[in-house]
């Protein structure tokens, strides 16, 4: 079955500290992987994506993520967190699977709080 | 360039009523997908339309239906509303069926 697991429901970090949000996936074909961010009451903004090629991908706002096929993981990182990064972060997997449509399967999200 | 737009922003309905939500994709995008996000959860896939045809459907009852128009905008219809239909409904567009999906701000539906 296709699924995405975000083990951390809630994370608090200090401003200026580094951040890593975990994401594990289960998918029957080569996955397309995404990280989206959602501010309260807002839609989803794409941070970065992995389709193929270099396993370390750079995104907006200083975020990066690394695809590790052996661990079925796509963890999101940022070296120095800013107060404006406080939001909910969603990992998603998608792509053509068995000819099926390109639906995105989302994790349950990680809520990031940033303390001064 | 304008992003994905959705209307209305908020909507309050009572049980048993029906609702129509609207979505305009990014200019040039031919695929529209709909997702339901219940409070505290990740979005769940409802439908994908590409070139005006349904290309995929999630695990939602037949009360949910959608269509895509010649200008690639889309409507999501929900009949016989239940309390459990209260959610943020998100529309996403992409150039082609398998491309990156870009999301709109969503429509917040409250069913009383």
Q: In the prediction, which pLDDT does A98 show?
A: 46
pLDDT above 70 for A7? yes
- Nearest CA among B110, B107, B109, B108 for reference residue B6: B107
Which pLDDT does position A41 carry in this prediction? Answer: 79
> Residue A95: its pLDDT value, please?
65
**Residue B40 per-residue DSSP state:** T
User: What is the helix (H) or strand (E) element at residue B100, kind and residue range?
Assistant: none
Domain ranges of chain B: 5-111
Q: How many domains does chain A have?
A: 1
Q: Do B101 and A106 touch (CB under 8 A)?
A: no
User: Is-cis flag, bond preceding B8, omega within 30?
Assistant: yes
Enumerate residues 85 to 114 of chain A having a beta carbon within 8 A of any beta carbon in chain B: 90, 92, 94-96, 100-109
pLDDT recorded at residue B63: 98
Of A46, A94, A101, the CB nearest to B102: A46
Low-confidence ranges of chain B (pLDDT < 70): 1
Does the beta-carbon distance from A105 to B45 stay under 8 Å? Answer: yes
Interface of A with B in 4-63 (CB under 8 A): 4, 32, 34, 36, 41-46, 49
**DSSP assignment string, chain A:** --EEE---SEEEEETTS-EEE--EEE-SSSPEEEEEEE-TT--EEEEEEE-SS-SEEE-GGG-EEEEEGGGTEEEEEESS--GGG-EEEEEEEES-STT-----EE---EEEEEE-
Residues of B with CB under 8 A from a CB of A: 4, 31, 33, 35, 40-45, 48, 55-56, 58, 90, 92, 94, 97-106, 108
Interface contact flag, B103 A44, Cβ < 8 Å: yes
- Answer yes or no: are the C-beta atoms of A35 and A57 closer than 8 Å: no
Residues A63-89 have pLDDT tens digits of 999 999 999 999 999 999 999 999 999
Number of other CB atoms surrounding residue A51 within 10 Å = 16
For A54-68, what is the mean pLDDT? 95
How many residues make up chain B in this entry?
112
Cβ–Cβ gap A44/B94 under 8 Å? no
**CATH of the domain spanning B5-111:** 2.60.40.10
> What is the tens place of the pLDDT at every residue in A86-116?
999 999 998 655 445 578 999 999 999 999 9
pLDDT in the model for residue B56: 87
Q: What is the CATH number of the domain that holds A32?
A: 2.60.40.10
Q: Which residues form the domain of A62? A: 3-115
Closest B-chain CA to A101: B56
Are A96 and B98 in contact (CB < 8 Å)? yes
């Amino acid at each position: 079955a296709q699924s995405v697991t975000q083990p951390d429901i809630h994370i608090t970090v200090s401003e200026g500290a580094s951040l890593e949000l975990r994401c594990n996936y289960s998918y029957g074909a080569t996955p397309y992987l995404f990280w989206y961010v959602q501010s309260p009451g807002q839609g989803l903004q794409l941070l970065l994506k992995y389709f193929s090629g270099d396993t370390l991908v750079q995104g907006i706002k200083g975020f990066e993520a690394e695809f590790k096929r052996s661990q079925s993981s796509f963890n999101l990182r940022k070296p120095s967190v800013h107060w404006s990064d406080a939001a909910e972060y969603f990992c998603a997997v998608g792509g053509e699977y068995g000819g099926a449509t390109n639906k995105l399967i989302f994790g349950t999200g990680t809520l990031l709080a940033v303390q001064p | 360039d304008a992003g994905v737009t959705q209307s209305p922003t908020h909507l309050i309905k009572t049980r048993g009523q029906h609702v129509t939500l609207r979505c305009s994709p990014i200019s040039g995008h031919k695929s529209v997908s709909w997702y339901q996000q219940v409070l505290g959860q990740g979005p769940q896939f409802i439908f994908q339309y590409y070139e005006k045809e349904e290309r995929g459907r999630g695990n939602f009852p037949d009360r949910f239906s959608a269509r895509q128009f010649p200008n690639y905008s889309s409507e999501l219809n929900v009949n016989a509303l239940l309390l459990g239909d209260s959610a943020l409904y998100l529309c996403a567009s992409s150039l082609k069926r398998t491309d990156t999906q870009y999301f709109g701000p969503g429509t917040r539906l409250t069913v009383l």
